[in-house]
Amino acid sequence: MSGNITFTIIKPFAVSNGHVGPILNKIHTAGFKISAMRMLWLTKGEAKIFYAVHKDRPFYMDLVEFMTSGPIVVAVLKKENAVEDFRKLIGSTDPEKADEGTIRKEFAESMRANAVHGSDSDKNANFEASFFFSGLQRF
Ligand code: GDP
């Protein structure tokens, strides 16, 4: 599985503002296949665990608040070189620094509400995908 999957979240605001379809369209157009997907509303406990890597950062609790403020869409995406290619497709964390044509440039509102998450390594992609989905080896 390693190397050809990544994990994404379409975050609150992007979901409530009706951007799920357009974002998925960009993902498809860029050559990713959706291996698994569902919509859910994170609990504070789940968000704290999912973002535990950031627990010492000043924005941690703000991030947890934001990510639990509304429904999200989580998905596992498949493509060769998935992690790196998806990070390029989403663009910089800060939408003001994101390149033209990236998902964050088009749909993010701020650093906090930056439309999408994308795994930053194969190890994290596997952890994050397994956090929400089981039996991924079947896809
Ligand atoms: P990413 O890998 O590009 O998503 O960025 P990070 O792993 O550094 O941060 C995780 C998430 O925390 C980002 O996607 C933002 O939603 C949020 N975040 C990062 N930096 C800040 C910040 O300075 N302020 C706030 N409010 N949120 C931030």
Q: For position 1, what pLDDT does the model report?
A: 45
Q: Please give the distance, rounded to the nearest whole angstrom, from the Cα atom of residue 81 to the centre of ligand 1.
A: 23
Closest CA to 2 of 74, 85, 83, 75: 83
Low-confidence spans in the chain with pLDDT less than 70: 1-2, 138-139
Residues with CB under 6 A from ligand 1: 59, 62-63, 93, 111-112, 114, 117, 120
- The single-letter code of the amino acid at 122 is D
Q: Does domain 5-42+71-132 have CATH number 3.30.70.2740?
A: no
* Residue nearest atom 25 of ligand 1, based on CA coordinates: 112
Q: So what's the pLDDT on residue 71? A: 98
**Nearest of 93, 83, 81 to residue 126 by alpha carbon:** 83
Helix residue spans in 3-75 (DSSP H)? 20-29, 44-50, 60-67
Q: What is the radius of gyration, based on Cα positions, of the chain?
A: 14
pLDDT score for 42: 98
Q: Kindly report, residue by residue over 100-128, the tens digit of the pLDDT.
A: 999 999 999 999 999 999 999 999 999 99
Question: How many angstroms is it from 4 CA to the middle of ligand 1?
Answer: 24
pLDDT at res. 27: 98
